[in-house]
Amino acid sequence: MADKELFRVRKEFVEGVTDELLRQLLDDLLGDGVFNQGQKDWILERNPTTTNKARDLIDTVMKKGDKASRKMIAHLQSRDPELYSKLGLTCGEPAQPAAEPQMKAAGPQMKAAESQMKAAGPQMKAAGPQMNREWSTVLLPTPKEFWEMKLNDSHVYAAAEKSIRNRKALLITNIKFTDETSNRNGAEKDEENMEKLLTGLGYEVFKFTNLTGKQIDDTVIWFSKHPKLRETDSVVVVIMSHGKLGTILGVDWTKEKSDDVFPIKNLYEHLGTENCPALLHKPKIIIIQACRKEDKGPVLVKDGAEQDVACDDALQPDDMDDIEEDAFPFAIKEKDFMPLLSCTPDTVSYRHTVHGSFLIQYIVDVFFTLAREEHIEELFRIVMLRFEDFSVRQTGGQKGGQMPTKDRCTLTKKFYFFPGI
């Protein structure tokens, strides 16, 4: 595939392209309809250096797929045959099986990068094309021209300046449990990171910590009745705790007291059109950091200073002492929901006991860097992509994986956060 061909030469292209060549390629791709004028100007104006412009160009083209990548390769061949030859590119047609070993041999830098990543963090593997991306440590603002371009787009949810100024979010984090062996070490960092991100995106954050199942339910109902919801263009609800299949666990949950839970389906009932008309036709973004497994063993997870990675499942076997997980499917019948669940059914989600959940870390990285230009479904897709080769090594030599899922999205349009507007 041509996009994989571009990825193979990404580093050399960024280092070898000149500003003039870059502008020529942008003009060519504009003429082909791969970019529109706003996208072209955006790449040129938001990046201070030629290497940054080149990196933005090739990453954007790769995301647009094989056809766009083939067009760029063809224009590069025409504009700069010397660089084209130096990169060892083809015309972008799908590679034949016999050529595959050559591609592997031509990309030693990819193997080197993967080895470095493994050495720096043995619990994780390189996540495909994302391993070369430079993630921003601050929330990058949307250019006003991009926001203005989307204002009259019938395929985009309305986001007027006044409604952006009145955004509301609900953040619930369970950290300390009645049974202290269930405490979620590192979840304080998740709470801090999510509050920082949501505030940066323009949301007034209503924050609650260490709630029982009933208190979670009461809090969601309270939020759904808040009079300020009539003024917002969207809401974000984030719940982070231990979980089981179908439920979020309250802080009083124990094996003996297993009824302290919040049913996930209640979230959609309380925020749906019937019970919350103020959110009619408005995006409801839901992020849940919790496991989705049934009971599977008699030993509770124990956090300790020596631990690096943990999970947020309620019950776990003896060989899971160095891992923590965060458990539940539900049916979304209401309109305009966009949920991201931290893992697929019958699996677990992982949390670093110092830096917080991997899901939240990745969400912050992706949103800080790309929320200025991407809609919510694409942002979540990129977060998922970072988990493509994710794995943690558990006690006993076994490996555990995690894959977040966008479960039955009911958005009918694209929703952009437009940070900084």
Which distant-in-sequence residues (6+ apart) come within 8 Å of 305 by Cβ?
none
The SS3 of residue 311 is strand
CA dist 173 → 93, 250, 362 (Å): 49, 10, 18
The DSSP code for 96 is P
CA-to-CA distance for 308 and 352, rounded, in angstroms? 6
- Burial (CB count <10 Å: 0-12, 13-18, 19+), residue 209: middle
Which distant-in-sequence residues (6+ apart) come within 8 Å of 76 by Cβ?
25, 83, 84, 87, 89
The SS3 of residue 313 is strand
- Judge whether 276 counts as a catalytic residue: no
**Annotated active-site residue in 75, 242, 270, 352:** 242
**Annotated active-site residue in 75, 270, 276, 291:** 291
- Judge whether 352 counts as a catalytic residue: no
Q: How far is CA 233 from the centre of its chain?
A: 21
Q: Which residue has the tokens 């719940």?
A: 239
Residue numbers annotated as active site: 242, 291
